[in-house]
Every structure is written in C-alpha cells, then in structure tokens.
Amino acid sequence: MADLSIQVHEVDGMAVVQPEGFINAHTVRQFETALETLVKAEKFTILLNCQKLSYISSAGLGAIMGLIETVRENQGDILLCSLQENVFAIFDTLGFTQLYRVFGTEDEARQALAGKTE
C-alpha cells in the first residue's frame, strides 16, 4: 500500500480532498501539491475528509496553515470532517479546532455549507 494516496472530487461547488494513509515529512509534498492545485484552479472551499487518514504530523498541519489565508481572502475556507480520534487530538491539542470548522461527516459539512450559501 502506498504511504499516501489522495482522492479529490467536487460536490456542490466544494472540493473534497480524501487522503488515505499518513501525512508526515515524507508524504507532505504530495498533500501540499493536491491543495495547491485546487487553489490554483480557484477552488477555495475545500473539505478535508480525514476518514482514512491514520495520522498527520506538524508538516501536514503546516501545509494547511500555508493556504488558509489565501482561501479565506477569496471567500473560501478549509473544513475538516470524519477525523479519527488521534487526528482530532492533534488538531485539538494545538488549538486548531478553533481555527477550522470540524464536522462529524461529509454530509454534515455539505449541509452546513449549503445553509451558509442559501
């Protein structure tokens, strides 16, 4: 199995990024490239579905932090959903759950976004 594979699809104008595996200093470039590609394509609302993400290190958090200002300046956001316990612990420990909206499921994130845009 690859260390990291990333699926990207679009739902209701939102880009859904689904990493499978782990994000650390070894795999972060792949993750960063996936996010940068979306931003270059002007997809500024990005949902990270972390259901299959086994762990993320500070390298991966840095990749998200590096783009948050750009997407928000363009009326977008980076949302998170389906975090495994240890991944949630990493975000929560660093106070990132105050920075990013976290949802239990992809559907909840989509509904929240639809409510915002109605």
| CA 24/CA 66 separation, integer angstroms | 15
Q: How far is the CB of 89 from other proteins (least distance, A)?
A: 7
> Between residues 51 and 55, which has the closer beta carbon with respect to other proteins?
55
Q: Which two tokens stand for residue 72?
A: 């928000």
Please report whether residue 24 would count as binding other proteins according to CB under 8 A.
Answer: yes
Shortest Cβ 9–other proteins spacing (Å): 26
95 binds other proteins (CB under 8 A): yes
Q: Does 3 bind other proteins (CB under 8 A)?
A: yes
Q: Name residues whose C-beta falls within 8 Å of residue 65's C-beta, 6 or more positions apart in sequence.
A: none
Q: Does 94 bind other proteins (CB under 8 A)?
A: yes
Phi (first) and psi of residue 55, to 5 degrees:
-160, 160
* 54 to 12, 15, 19, 109: CA distances (angstroms): 27, 21, 9, 20
Cβ contact 39:11 at 8 Å: no
In angstroms, give the least distance from the CB of 94 to other proteins.
Answer: 5
CB of 110 to other proteins, least distance (A): 25
Handedness of CA 78, 80, 85, 88 (dihedral sign): positive
65 touches other proteins by CB under 8 A? yes
Residue ranges in contact with other proteins by CB under 8 A: 3, 22, 24-26, 55, 57-59, 61-63, 65-66, 68-69, 85-86, 89-90, 93-96, 98-99
